[in-house]
Amino acid sequence: MIEAHGLTKSYGGPGARVRVLDGVGLRVAPAGIHALLGPNGAGKTTTVRILSTLTTPDSGSARVAGYDVVADRRRVRRLISLTGQSAAVDETLTGRENLRMVARLTGLSRPRARQRADELLTRFDLLDAASRQVRTYSGGMRRRLDLAAGLVGSPDPGVYFLDEPTTGLDPRSRRELWQVVRDLADQGATVLLTTQYLEEADQLADRVAVLDQGRIVAEGTPATLKSRLAGHRLDLVLSSREAYLRLATRAVHHSPETLTLGIPTDGTAAHARALLDDVDPHRTDVERFSLHSATLDDVFLALTTGPTEAPAHV
């Protein structure tokens, strides 16, 4: 449903060009949720802006539902919905008025606009608040209304680009929005979302692509990515900074503040004992240890280099 090959994009003037995307390739299957992870400045938002026709790549190509995002921009826009990092709704209008306004702007007749607004208010559990000004809505309600507005003129099931949709929401509102996104996918929608919350990708995504310094550095199901770092991790709290530095190259998780290193293991008692004997044969360097399953946090930290300085909207 979404396919990109060799996307590049740079920003800035002569002599100060910053390459944000450096040959990004991506394939997103229909009817599912694909997460794009990466540190700030990795190029996530730029990728979404290209795929949603808001900007053009310097080189490379991309298609949505078979249509080229540059040559067939109008057709692509009829098929997609885009939700940015902040809710794009009018706070002085009611929820119903916002949706009717968007419906009229997309060309629906007045009767059809009223009908479509009520359909979406019901679908997103906003009907009881439909007559209230949006300024009275909670953050979660605003995001649901923002998603609903994006669906007004898009055909179901459609293609949805969600750029950090739960940023700033409290845990309860985040989980409510997760369910909305799951429902969209269950109804056949194709969802590409960027997120800073690794738990979010773990909970929602069928597949995850990890973007770092403008390149896709890993891609697969959450379980597959975790298995790349072994299924489990043995966390060691070291007794000294010297021991920490000596063992740091073997670890996939690093916490210098607490002198803690995480080393991959298969999770068996035999392997954990062997690792402890190997890293601390004299039994003086490890103060304590714990065993837990690998997480997407481990994948993220192992595969990315951290935030980079980048232009706005990257």
State pLDDT tens for residues 198-250. Answer: 788 888 999 999 999 999 998 999 888 877 655 678 899 999 999 999 999 88
List own/partner pairs for 247-255 with CB under 8 A and 24 or more apart. Answer: 247/279, 247/285, 250/279, 252/294, 252/298, 252/301, 252/302, 253/297, 253/298, 253/301, 253/302, 254/301
Domains of the chain: 2-225 (3.40.50.300), 230-293 (3.30.70)
What is the strand order of the sheet 80-83 is part of? Answer: 80-83, 159-163, 190-194, 32-37, 207-212, 215-220
Predicted model pTM? 0.76
Burial of 277 (0-12, 13-18, 19+ CB in 10 A): exposed
Q: Which residue, 259, 215, 289, 219, is CA-closest to 22?
A: 215
The per-residue pLDDT for range 132-167, each reduced to its tens digit, is: 999 999 988 998 999 899 888 776 778 999 998 888
With a CB cutoff of 8 Å and minimum separation 6, the contacts of 210 are: 37, 38, 216, 217, 218, 219, 225, 299, 300, 303, 304
Does residue 294 register a pLDDT over 60?
Answer: yes
